[in-house]
Amino acid sequence: MLFKISISGIKARWRDYIVLFSGMIMASAIFYMFEAIALNKKFVTSTTVGQSAKVVFSLGSILLIIITLVYILYANNFLMSMRKHDYGLFMMLGAKSSKIGTLINLETLTVGLFSTLIGVVAGIGLTKVISNMLVTALDIPVKYFQAVYNPAIWSTLILFMILFIVAGLMNARSFTKTAALKLLNSESKTDWKQPRTKRLIGQAALGVIFLAMGYYSLDHIQQLKGLSILIGLVTIVCGTYFIFNSFFVILLERLQQSVLNKRGINSFTIAQLKFRIHDYTKILSIVSLLFSLALGAITVGIGLQNGLPETANAKSAYVIATTNPSSKMAELIAKTHGKNENNYQQKVTKKAVYYRLSEFSRQPIEYPTFVSNGNPQGNLQIKKSRLGQLGNSHSQPYQQLRTLQNVNLKTHQIKFVSDQVFSKVSGEINHLKLIRVKDLNGQSASLKAIFDLQKRELGSKVVQSMGESLILYEFVKNIFSSMEFMGVFLGIAFLAMLASCLMFKILSGIDRDKTRFEMLNKIGTSQRSLKRSIMLQIMGLFGLPAALGLINVGFGLQMFVKASLLHHAYQAFAYSSIGFLALYLVYYVITVLIYQKVVVPKAQNER
Amino acid sequence: MTKEIIKIQDLHKVYDQHSEKPYEALKGVSFQVDEGEFVGIMGASGSGKSTLLNILATLDRPTSGNVQIDGNDVTQFTSNEMANFRSNKLGFIFQSFNLLETLNVFENIVLPLSLQNTNHRIAQQKVRQIANKLGLENLLTNYPTQLSGGQKQRVAAARALVSDPSIIFGDEPTGALDSTNARDLLDMLQQINSQGVSILLVTHDPFSASFCKRILFIKDGKIGDELKATGKTRNEFYQEILEKLGTFEQ
């Protein structure tokens, strides 16, 4: 009978449960996808991406578990808000706390088990689709990647069951501690109290100060070192909370005093939003922080990949250096687009390598150097060498040329001589070809082919010790690819969960709002105004955390810029923000549509 | 000597006691209800009648005072004792029926017994008995959405009676019914009462109140007056209630 009551409760509010189910299914599917990669031993141990990703993946797992717990608690809160009245009635009819506890646990676990099972199946499908997509889009050499992976299935099932048991126990505890009468009448009650102005202003000021402190500390990472992140974390979390708890409330109070408030049902819309923001402080703060984390993860992931050419160029201006290229090599080089070639003749004697000075005059060798433009770490610049520099064996162009020659010439002295002298030197004649490529990322496929050929022709060991930047480019690309994969994956997962958390929270208040909108309808408010009011209210709830999240990321990126970890950070920020906001918008639209459908009373003449 | 079912002494209830503006909903209420009585409590909105009913129903605790139901001091109960007490000794009929839409009539009526883990066979027998008594025997497999308002309230009454309570509390039970169905329900309550079940009815409707044997008028948190139906026809009692309300409410 108890089980029947639980199940019938689910059946009765099927439409609400579908929203909840889909959210839970998504959470478990995301977790499965992640674990299918992170736990896959073959994948992790036998590919460079896998190896470099191991640490990042375990860190990602922990983050994902934390956000999943928060998500499940919110989703359950939504579930329980739908059941308050029924449980209140059971208590009134004499059900003991233990019985109510059993019922709640039973219901939570049933919902949990079903959604997790479906989620794992969905996760297997998604892993297949998304891994293919990411591998192609991000050019990740992912081998040994299995969509159906038993350890991932088990870890997802076990973790979700533990989370649901925890959520069930927490729900049961909070329910049994609430009086039956309160539960029975829960739909008509609110906890809203008008906050005191002085306290509001104090908190708002504190919020701004905390955020400013956080941004300042992230900006000064070089001076504060590790402390910067710690200070940033604490102050930004506190600041965000206070901003929602008071700053936005004050802004809305100002709006209430403006002319805008007097138009249409704006007064209702603004008042509702004010009430909501105050009521939703915690969730809005969490959403805002997760928004920052998610967008930050994507931005840093993409930014690292974008900054790859700079990282590689810091080693050498030339991506490829080849002595006497084979015909195959020449063919591959010819296929590479957007390149500059420097060709030098060499004559090698026992102790020296001779070059024609005239060739270096016509094609000066280029070298990377760091110029301090207010940045203590220096900004990378590629400079052309002057002939005078070449005579100095300690100069950068001289040193670079030495590393770009054949590996066995490292101890040879380099001599730049006139054409006449060069022709008189007797020694082995070689042809050194140095290649610069403008768009390294754009040519990554042909560069990879050249790299592979070099390894075949010269052996991996020799290639490792070469001075060209290709070796560093290929090595770092593997690491950055996994970071990008992780950033994009975690970012999207966080976004999906934070947006659903917000959606659940908003939708869980739908019953209370229904009567308000019915009342507005009765006093003659048009359907259009009602729908617009909903749109604006939900826009506020989605928009404000997003705005604060964007600002957080904007300042947070300074940390990476100042530590010279990211190049073109704000370009990556712009791209990722657009993509991110587009996805976020989808959640907003879905929430608005569901809300409008449930809350706005149907017009009498509607068929 | 008749047995007291309810005995209340100097009952006080203060809301938001520690706030700047505490609100005293009950200001020293005392009365008693004997076994087999049909007592009505009348009062305007905000008079304290719902607070009183909630305390009697063990859904709320008084700030001070003594509440004894069937010889038990309910103010000293733990939450589990309260739950047991509610399911064994009290029955409820609400204005809004409070039936579960997803359970059929049988399942709705059996709910209090299921929550107490009563043997299924005994529970089934009891439900059939009570359904026959209230004329619900042909509706047992129907769902609440298939019932009229009057039928729904009869199901609610059956649910209240199924555990053989010492007293039934009615909170405006005719509030959502039309006059014919309201009349049917009140007749039924009178019939149940005549079989020995005590009833306490909270209402502001004089017609419903006229079915009671005794009426207590509550105003501003205090019992103000009392009317008894002894020796009067229902119509005479109704007129007397109307007269009383006319003077009492002013």
Please state, as a whole number, how many other Cβ atoms lie within 10 Å of the Cβ of residue A456: 11
Name the residue of chain B whose CA is nearest to A98's CA: B80
Test A92 with B79 for CB contact under 8 angstroms.
no
CA-nearest residue to A180 within chain B is B59
- The residue with tokens 């043997």 is B119
pLDDT bracket for residue A605 (50, 70, 90): very low
Chain centre distance of CA A287: 14
Segment A417-454, tens digit of pLDDT: 899 989 888 888 999 888 888 887 788 788 888 888 88
Q: Hey, what domains does chain B have and what are their CATH numbers?
A: 36-54+78-248 (3.40.50.300)
| DSSP secondary structure letter of residue A434 | E
Provide the pLDDT confidence category of residue A606 given band limits of 50, 70 and 90.
Answer: very low
Give residues 112 to 141 of B whose Cβ lies within 8 Å of A: 112, 114-116
Give the Cα separation of A37 and A482 in Å (integer): 11
Q: In terms of CA atoms, which chain A residue is nearest residue B85?
A: A94
Q: If you measure CA to CA, which chain A residue comes closest to B102?
A: A8
Whole-angstrom distance, CA of residue A436 vs CA of residue B112:
83
Query: Do the Cβ atoms of A111 and A458 come closer than 8 Å?
Result: no
- Which residues partner with A355 through β-bridges? A346, A416
Does A599 have pLDDT greater than 90? no
Neighbours of A603 (CB within 10 A): 10
**CB contact at 8 A, B29 and B18:** no
Q: How far apart are CA A35 and CA A155, in angstroms?
A: 8
- What sign does the dihedral A20-A596-A252-A187 (CA atoms) show? negative
**DSSP calls for A243-297:** IIIIIHHHHHHHHHHSGGGGSTTHHHHHHHHHHHHHHTHHHHHHHHHHHHHHHHH
- For chain A, give the percent of residues with pLDDT over 70: 86
Residue type, B34: D
Chain A residues 247-306 within an 8 A CB cutoff of chain B: none
Phi, psi of A394 (to 5 degrees): -95, -5
SS3 label, residue B64: strand
Any CB–CB contact under 8 A between A15 and chain B?
A: no
Residues 6+ apart with CB under 8 A from A32: A119, A120, A123, A124, A127, A152, A153, A156
Structure token digits, residue A175: 């329910």
Neighbouring residues of A18: CB distance < 8 A, sequence distance ≥ 6: none
Q: For the residues B91-111, what does the mean pLDDT come to? A: 84
pLDDT of residue B149 exceeding 90, the answer is no
From the list A71, A46, A251, the residue with the least C-alpha distance to A159 is A71
Whether B90 and B58 have beta carbons less than 8 Å apart is answered as yes
Interface A-B, measured as beta-carbon pairs within 8 A, has a size of: 67
**pLDDT tens for each residue of A291-340:** 888 888 888 878 877 777 877 887 788 888 888 888 998 888 888 888 88
Q: Which two tokens stand for residue B118?
A: 């009563």
**What totals of helices (H) and strands (E) does chain A contain, helices first?**
25, 7
A89 vs B115: CB contact, 8 Å cut-off? no
Determine phi and psi for A393, rounding to 5 degrees. -70, -10
A86 close to B (CB below 8 A): yes
- Residues A223-266 pLDDT 10s: 877 788 788 888 988 898 888 888 888 888 888 888 877 777 78
Strand partners, B245: none
Q: Mean of the pLDDT values across residues B135-147? A: 90
- B211's enclosing H/E stretch is none
**Rounded distance, CA A156 to CA A334, Å?**
50
DSSP string across A24-43:
HHHHHHHHHHHHHHHS-HHH
- Token pair 């009317």 in the structure block, residue: B227
Backbone angles phi, psi at A513, to 5 degrees: -75, -25
Q: Which of B94, B102, B109, B120 to mutate to test the interface with A (most CBs of A within 10 A)?
A: B102
Cβ contacts of B79 on chain A, cutoff 8 Å: 96-97, 176
Nearest to A52 by CA among A62, A65, A43, A61: A43
Question: Is pLDDT larger for residue A406 or for residue B140?
Answer: B140
Residues forming a β-bridge with A366: A384
pLDDT of A607 reads 41
**What's the pLDDT at A604?**
46
Two structure tokens written together for B71 = 């010889």
Using CA coordinates, name the residue in chain B closest to A103: B115
Look at residue B40 in the predicted model and tell me its pLDDT: 94
Round to whole Å and give the CA distance between A2 and A87. Answer: 12
DSSP string, A312-355: HHTT-S-SEEEES--HHHHHHHHH--SEEEEEEEEEE-SSEEEE
Give residues with Cβ within 8 angstroms of A214, minimum separation 6.
A231, A232, A233, A234, A235, A236, A239, A555
B174 neighbors B93 (Cβ within 8 angstroms): no
The letter for the amino acid at A381 is Q
From the list B90, B54, B111, the residue with the least C-alpha distance to A103 is B111
On chain B, the residues whose CB falls within 8 A of the CB of A8 are: 100, 102-103
Q: Which of residues 169-188 of A touch B (CB under 8 A)?
A: 176, 179-181, 184
pLDDT at A447: 83
Give me the mean pLDDT over the A404-418 stretch. 86
- Cβ–Cβ of A9/B110 closer than 8 Å? no
Please tell me the distance from the alpha carbon of residue A328 to that of residue A161, in angstroms, as a whole number. Answer: 58
The residue type at A57? F
pLDDT digits (tens, 9 = 90+) for A52-100: 556 666 666 776 777 777 777 777 777 777 777 788 888 888 888 888 8
Contact A82, B102 (CB under 8 A): no
Whether A130 has a pLDDT exceeding 90, the answer reads no
Pairwise CB contact (< 8 Å): A93 & B112: yes
Between B137 and B176, where is the model more confident?
Answer: B137
User: Rounded to two decimals, what is the model's pTM?
Assistant: 0.64
Mind listing the pLDDT tens digit for each residue in A182-197?
A: 666 655 545 556 667 7
Does B103 reach chain A within 8 Å, measured CB to CB?
Answer: yes
* Residues of chain B found within 8 Å of residue A98, distances taken between Cβ atoms: 80
**Torsion angle (degrees, nearest 10) of CA A281, A287, A293, A298:** -150
Instruction: State yes or no: ipTM above 0.90.
Output: no
Beta bridge partners of A71: none
B57 contact residues in A (CB cutoff 8 A):
92
Fill in the amino acid letter for B39: V
pLDDT at A455: 84
Query: pLDDT tens-digit profile of A332-382?
Result: 888 888 888 889 999 999 888 999 989 988 888 888 887 766 555 566 778
Query: To the nearest whole angstrom, how far is the Cα of B241 from the nearest Cα of chain A?
Result: 31
Mean pLDDT estimate for chain A: 80
Q: Determine contact, residues A339/A438, Cβ cutoff 8 Å.
A: yes
The first and second tokens of residue A380, run together, are 């990378």
User: Which residues lie below 8 Å from residue A117, measured CB to CB, with a gap of 6+?
Assistant: A157
Instruction: Tell me if chain A has a CB within 8 Å of the CB of B156.
Output: no
Q: Does A104 touch chain B (CB under 8 A)?
A: no
**How many helices (H) does chain B have, and how many strands (E)?**
8, 10
Please provide the average confidence, as pLDDT, over all residues in chain B: 88
Residue whose C-alpha is closest to residue A443's, from A470, A481, A466:
A470
Q: Tell if the CB–CB gap between B159 and A93 is shorter than 8 Å.
A: yes
Tell whether the model's pLDDT for residue A495 goes beyond 70. yes
